[in-house]
Structures are given as structure tokens and as C-alpha cells.
Amino acid sequence: MRHRGNTFEYRDERDADLLRAYHSYISSCKIIDIHKISEQVVLIPSSRFWVSEERTAIVVRKIRKGDTLDNMRPLLKEMFMEIYRRVVAMEAKHPELSLFEIVFRVIRQPAPKFYLTPESARVIMYKAKKRTMQNVKARLRHMTYFSLVRK
């Protein structure tokens, strides 16, 4: 569980990947229903697993010790079990690599889906679009200011 004040280090990249999937899917829609769209967008393959190396290594170690991850939300558990399967397969092929190196490689592999609920995806997309608009406005404000100063 995240604690107050924690930030996700890959937030911008994840948001861009989610928006890419959203724009890709929405271009094929005739009727825009954000609820149906978000249900489909989360099922589109992602460019990677959106979790940190540290968190993944901790969870993989827990699974090795016999933890069944029953206290995790279903999608999160599904994601970590998929990562664990890939870690085990890569360990068999590359026994010389450390767990952290394997985790680093595995989470950068394409993921079969985003492992987000449609509701979470909608919130992330909304916030990402809002941040983008704020950045555009700030750049325009900056450009307007300098165009007035030059005159």
C-alpha cells in the first residue's frame, strides 16, 4: 500500500503509455463512452510492467518464501504472479544474473495489459490530460510574456 507523500517514479511514462493506448483505441470508436473505453484500454498490452524494481524484488522474495499474496488486490496479485513466472523462467536461462538484474529486465518487458481497474485508468487519464493542459498553458503564458516584453 502506498503511503501519503509517496510518488511513483515512472508516473509520467506510465501515463503517456496509457494515453497512447487510449488514443489508439478511441480512434477506432464510433461512439465515445468513456466507461466502455476505459474497460477496453486497460486490456491493451502495455510497453512494460508499471512497478518499481525495488517493490518487485520485495514481492518476488515474499513469493519465494511461500507468501500467496492473498492480502493484495486481485489485479496486483495477477501482475506480480506474471512477473514471478517470468523471473523464474529468466533465472533458468541466466543463472549467473542476480535477482535484481533479472527483475530489472523482466519489468521492462511488454506486459499483457495495464493491470489497472477501469476506474483507476479513468482517473489517471484525467489527471494526465489536466497536467498536459497546465503545461501547455504555462508555455503559452511564458511565450505571451516574452512577446510583450520584446515589443
Q: Which domain holds residue 138?
A: 10-48+110-151
* Shared-domain flag, residues 44 and 116: yes
Contact 39, 121 (CB under 8 A): no
* Shared-domain flag, residues 98 and 135: no
pLDDT value at position 7?
Answer: 67
pLDDT per position in the chain (151 positions), as tens? 555 656 678 899 999 999 999 999 998 888 888 899 999 999 999 999 999 999 999 999 999 999 999 999 999 999 999 999 999 999 999 999 999 999 999 999 999 999 999 999 999 999 998 988 888 888 777 666 555 555 5
Count of structural domains, the chain:
2
* Shared-domain flag, residues 121 and 101: no
Q: Please state, in angstroms and as integers, the Cα–Cα distance from residue 91 to each residue in 47, 55, 63, 125, following that order.
A: 22, 18, 15, 36
Contact 60, 103 (CB under 8 A): yes
* Shared-domain flag, residues 17 and 60: no
* Shared-domain flag, residues 98 and 119: no
